[in-house]
């Protein structure tokens, strides 16, 4: 455990001297803010329109609960943003160690493959948690308007972190397969985009196989959490993804040594 | 300290390392010598647990490296061919990270790092980023990394290659200081390095051991020929005549295999007399020169350098293979 924490700490420190990580952090925060304020303004307007319709005609087609709608939309957007951000954070995790020759240090130290992988995962996940911090004031801002949905916020944030964890675990595995960071990033984008949108194929046609395929989708699971639903199956789903990613990465790190370098 | 038995590494049919066995005693410095591509780095990587072997065993301090890797690796400090550095870290932070990986107890990390900085003479750059350091300093950081947990065994893979002569000298001095505190396995293709610091030398070529011995015994055992160098002059004899006379006189000695005489500036003559194995011609050659009434200006015996032996061994092998 001490080894894993040492590796995680070093990883987070190296993010903070990397221009890529700063760029990701800045753009993620900026675009999140943009989405949030745009959506908030849009739905408040819609709600005001609905109110005036009620006053005019005595009824309205719209029944808007602004905080719930905004939060659900916002968390879904954030999930999309994570899909864009995570590959940039995971692309170098193992790839860089191979390129710099520092994998030779890790492997010849009394450190197990599982500890290397756990440390790398915790490092990237720690940075992801830091990335989420600037979002929190936005919710406080919404709270100023009177409506405040702490339950939805908590489940939505948890959903994002679980999703991010699953994405990091897969990115970590792909990074362990690649000798080039760009290939690692592109490969991770390919996998994450597939996992995110695999459910859109399920809705167009009906088939046993497509339903099964749909079970693998990130979106279908994460979307529950944006509505304030916390279910054990969703938790188990993301936990299995993380376990699978870490397991594959650990096997792969052990196998790198068998390759001719 | 480390025992290697029947170690081999095969890539398909090609054997990069073929049935290597050797042992290194506590406190000994073993030089691992071979041309590029001989299998030195592959061997270093296998005895440090980076590369798995195709066959054979490695035991460090009694622990099998493959079945009991954690205690074996705790006893090991390793400087790979390219020092494994994180350029964005400062020297001190980097060494602390390595100390944590190498299981230095939490309370002793700071002092271990301080000691490593001192021993590798990194004091002036300790708080600089590694990316800002020169190659020589980086190599020393690599050394500090290998010794930070005071391992009984040090494996250094070509520690001075790619350094300039001054840096090379400094790193070599540091290695000489490590002697006595650690058991060292040192690979190199630079010969003076081995003859200076190693107690024993393993010469490998094409993945196989060609010879194992102390540097001095190795040069003795493999001495194919000895030679004596002479410098002499004679008054009133023309150069060419003198040359012919010297050649003839030296040839008459018993046990001579070849004589090579050159005229030098100022009327002196340089002669090189090669003898058969085990024949020392120094005294006799001096007597011959003085007996003829020539003036002997210099006389020296030449033994084969490690370099000659190395070339001889590796090129013999080459001919055998051809």
d(CA B313, CA B309): 6
Percent of chain A with pLDDT over 70: 92
What tens digit of pLDDT does each residue of A13-46 get? 999 998 999 999 999 999 999 998 898 888 888 8
What is the pairing mode between strands B55-60 and B63-64?
antiparallel
Q: Among B161, B154, B150, which Cα is nearest to B176's?
A: B154
d(CA A109, CA B99): 10
DSSP 8-state secondary structure symbol assigned to residue B73: H
Is B88 close to A14, i.e. CB distance below 8 A?
yes
DSSP 8-state secondary structure symbol assigned to residue B51: S
As a whole number, mean pLDDT of residues B239-267 equals 81
Helix (H, G, I), strand (E, B) or coil at B68: coil
Q: What is the pLDDT, as a whole number, of residue B317?
A: 46
The answer to whether residue B315 sits within a structural domain is no
> Would you say residue B36 has pLDDT above 90?
no
- Domain co-membership, B201 together with B52: yes
Q: What is the pLDDT, as a whole number, of residue B101?
A: 95
Instruction: Give the range among A74-83, B104-113, B285-294 with minimum mean pLDDT.
Output: B285-294
Question: Mutation test of the interface with chain B: which of A110, A119, A123, choosing the one with the most B Cβ atoms within 10 A?
Answer: A110
The chain-wide mean pLDDT, for chain B, equals 85
Instruction: Measure A2 CA to nearest chain B CA, in Å.
Output: 7
Q: What is the pLDDT, as a whole number, of residue B138?
A: 93
> Rounded to two decimals, what is the model's pTM?
0.82
What is the pairing mode between strands B2-11 and B14-24?
antiparallel
- Domain co-membership, B16 together with B69: yes
Q: Can you give the residue range of the structural domain that contains B63?
A: 2-221
Nearest CB neighbour to B80, from listed A2, A18, A104: A104
The answer to whether residue B75 sits within a structural domain is yes
SS (H, E, C) chain A: CHHHHHHHHHHHHHHCCCHHHHHHHHHHHHHHHHHHHHHHHHHHHHHHHHHHHHHHHCCCCCCCCHHHHHHHHHHHHHHHHHHHHHHHHHCCCCHHHHHHCCHHHHHHCCCCHHHHHHHHHHHHHHHHHHHHHHHHHHHHHHHHCCCCCHHHHHHHHHHHHHHHHHHHHHHHHHHHHCCCHHHHHHHHHHHHHHHHHHHHHHHHCCCHHHHHHHCCCHHHHHHHHHCCCCCHHHHHHHHHHHHHHHHHHHHHHHHHCCCCC
Instruction: Give the range among A201-205, B138-142, B241-245 with minimum mean pLDDT.
Output: A201-205
- Domain co-membership, B8 together with B139: yes
Residue of A nearest to B145 (CA): A105
DSSP 8-state secondary structure symbol assigned to residue B199: S
The answer to whether residue B309 sits within a structural domain is no
- Of the two residues A50 and A95, the one the predictor is more confident about is A95
The answer to whether residue B308 sits within a structural domain is no
Strand partners, B10: B15
Instruction: Measure the CA angle with vertex B1, ends A259 and B4; round to 5°.
Output: 40
> Would you say residue B212 has pLDDT above 80?
yes
- Domain co-membership, B94 together with B153: yes
Interior/surface letters B303-322, b for 16+ CB within 10 angstroms, e for the rest? ebebebbbeebbeebeeeee
What tens digit of pLDDT does each residue of A41-77 get? 888 888 888 888 888 887 776 667 777 888 888 999 9
> Would you say residue B228 has pLDDT above 80?
yes
The answer to whether residue B317 sits within a structural domain is no
d(CA A110, CA B76): 9
Which tokens is B104 given?
């230095």
d(CA A118, CA B117): 30
Q: Among A151, A155, A149, A144, which Cα is nearest to A65's?
A: A149
Largest CA distance in chain A: 77
The answer to whether residue B190 sits within a structural domain is yes
Helix (H, G, I), strand (E, B) or coil at B7: strand
- Domain co-membership, B273 together with B142: no
Q: What is the CATH number for B161?
A: 3.40.50.300
As a whole number, mean pLDDT of residues A144-168 equals 87
B228, B303 in Cβ contact below 8 A? no
- Domain co-membership, B77 together with B215: yes
Nearest CB neighbour to B101, from listed A6, A17, A104: A6
B169 touches chain A (CB under 8 A): no
A41-50, A52-61, B93-102, B210-219: which has the highest mean pLDDT? B93-102
What tens digit of pLDDT does each residue of A107-134 get? 999 999 999 999 999 999 999 999 999 9
Q: Last residue of some domain: B168, B199, B221? A: B221
The answer to whether residue B10 sits within a structural domain is yes
Q: What is the pLDDT, as a whole number, of residue A261?
A: 44
The pLDDT confidence band at residue A258, using thresholds 50, 70 and 90, is low
What tens digit of pLDDT does each residue of B139-193 get? 999 999 999 999 999 999 988 877 888 888 888 888 888 888 899 999 987 777 7
Q: Last residue of some domain: B180, B195, B221? A: B221
Interior/surface letters A165-175, b for 16+ CB within 10 angstroms, e for the rest? bbbbbbbbbbb
d(CA B61, CA A56): 90
- Domain co-membership, B75 together with B6: yes
Q: How many CB pairs under 8 A join A and B?
A: 69
Q: What is the pLDDT, as a whole number, of residue B321?
A: 39
Q: Which residue has the tokens 């066959």?
A: B55
- Of the two residues A47 and A155, the one the predictor is more confident about is A155
Nearest CB neighbour to B102, from listed A7, A13, A110: A110
Our count of domains for chain B comes to: 2
- Domain co-membership, B52 together with B98: yes
Is A258 close to B69, i.e. CB distance below 8 A?
no
B200, B213 in Cβ contact below 8 A? yes
Nearest CB neighbour to A105, from listed B74, B84, B88: B84
- Domain co-membership, B83 together with B175: yes
> Would you say residue A213 has pLDDT above 70?
yes
B82 touches chain A (CB under 8 A): yes
- Domain co-membership, B102 together with B247: no
A118-132, B226-240, B287-301: which has the highest mean pLDDT? A118-132
Q: What is the pLDDT, as a whole number, of residue A205?
A: 65
- Domain co-membership, B201 together with B287: no
> Would you say residue A96 has pLDDT above 80?
yes
Contacts of A102 in chain B (CB under 8 A): 84-86
Q: What is the pLDDT, as a whole number, of residue A58?
A: 78
- Domain co-membership, B198 together with B241: no
The answer to whether residue B307 sits within a structural domain is no
What is the pairing mode between strands B200-205 and B208-213?
antiparallel
B25, B205 in Cβ contact below 8 A? no
d(CA A256, CA A260): 9
């Amino acid at each position: 455990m001490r080894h894993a924490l040492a590796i995680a700490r070093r990883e987070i420190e190296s993010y903070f001297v990397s221009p890529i990580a700063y760029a990701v952090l800045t753009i993620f925060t900026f675009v999140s803010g943009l989405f949030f304020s745009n959506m908030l303004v849009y739905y408040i307007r819609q709600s005001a329109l609905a109110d005036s319709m009620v006053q005019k005609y005595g009824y309205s087609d719209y029944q808007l609960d602004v905080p719930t709608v905004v939060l659900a939309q916002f968390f879904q957007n954030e999930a999309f943003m994570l899909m864009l951000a995570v590959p940039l954070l995971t692309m170098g995790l193992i790839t860089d160690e191979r390129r710099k020759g520092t994998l030779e240090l890790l492997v010849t130290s009394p450190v197990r493959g599982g500890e290397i992988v756990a440390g790398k995962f915790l490092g990237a996940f720690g940075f992801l948690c830091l990335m989420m911090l600037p979002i929190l004031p936005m919710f406080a801002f919404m709270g100023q308007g009177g409506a405040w949905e702490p339950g939805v916020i908590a489940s939505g944030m948890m959903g994002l972190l679980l999703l991010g964890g699953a994405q990091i675990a897969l990115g970590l595995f792909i990074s362990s397969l690649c000798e080039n960071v760009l290939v690692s990033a592109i490969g991770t984008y390919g996998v994450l985009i597939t996992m995110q949108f695999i459910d859109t194929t399920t809705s167009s046609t009906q088939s046993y196989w497509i339903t099964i395929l749909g079970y693998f989708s990130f979106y279908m699971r994460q979307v529950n959490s944006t509505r304030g639903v916390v279910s054990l199956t969703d938790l188990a789903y993301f936990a299995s993804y993380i376990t699978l990613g870490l397991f594959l990465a650990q096997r792969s790190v052990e196998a790198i040594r068998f390759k001719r370098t | 300290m480390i025992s290697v038995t029947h170690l081999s590494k095969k890539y398909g049919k090609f054997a990069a390392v073929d049935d290597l066995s050797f042992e290194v005693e506590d406190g000994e410095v073993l030089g691992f010598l071979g041309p590029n591509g001989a299998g030195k780095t592959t061997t270093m990587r296998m005895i440090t647990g980076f590369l798995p072997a195709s066959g054979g065993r490695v035991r460090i301090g009694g622990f099998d490296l493959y079945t009991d890797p954690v205690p074996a690796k705790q006893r090991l400090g390793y400087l790979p061919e390219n020092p494994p550095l994180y350029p964005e870290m400062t020297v001190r932070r980097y060494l602390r990270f390595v100390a944590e990986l190498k299981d230095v107890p939490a309370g002793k990390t700071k002092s271990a790092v301080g000691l490593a900085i001192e021993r590798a003479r990194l004091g002036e750059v300790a708080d600089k980023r590694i990316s800002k350091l020169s190659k020589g300093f980086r190599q020393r950081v690599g050394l500090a990394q290998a010794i930070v947990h005071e391992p009984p065994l040090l494996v250094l893979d070509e520690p001075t290659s790619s350094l300039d002569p001054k840096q090379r000298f400094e790193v070599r001095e540091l290695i000489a200081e490590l002697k006595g505190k650690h058991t060292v396995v040192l690979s190199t293709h630079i010969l003076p390095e081995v003859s200076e610091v190693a107690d024993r030398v393993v010469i490998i070529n094409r993945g196989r051991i060609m010879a194992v011995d102390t540097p001095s015994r190795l040069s003795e055992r493999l001495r194919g020929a000895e030679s004596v160098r002479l410098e002499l002059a004679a008054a009133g004899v023309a150069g060419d005549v003198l040359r012919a006379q010297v050649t003839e006189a030296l040839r008459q000695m018993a046990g001579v295999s070849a004589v090579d005489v050159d005229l030098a500036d100022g009327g002196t003559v340089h002669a090189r007399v090669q003898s058969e194995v085990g024949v020392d011609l120094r005294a006799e050659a001096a007597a011959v020169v003085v007996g003829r009434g020539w003036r002997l200006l210099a006389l020296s015996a030449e033994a084969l350098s490690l370099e000659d032996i190395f070339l001889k061994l590796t090129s013999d092998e080459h001919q055998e293979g051809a």
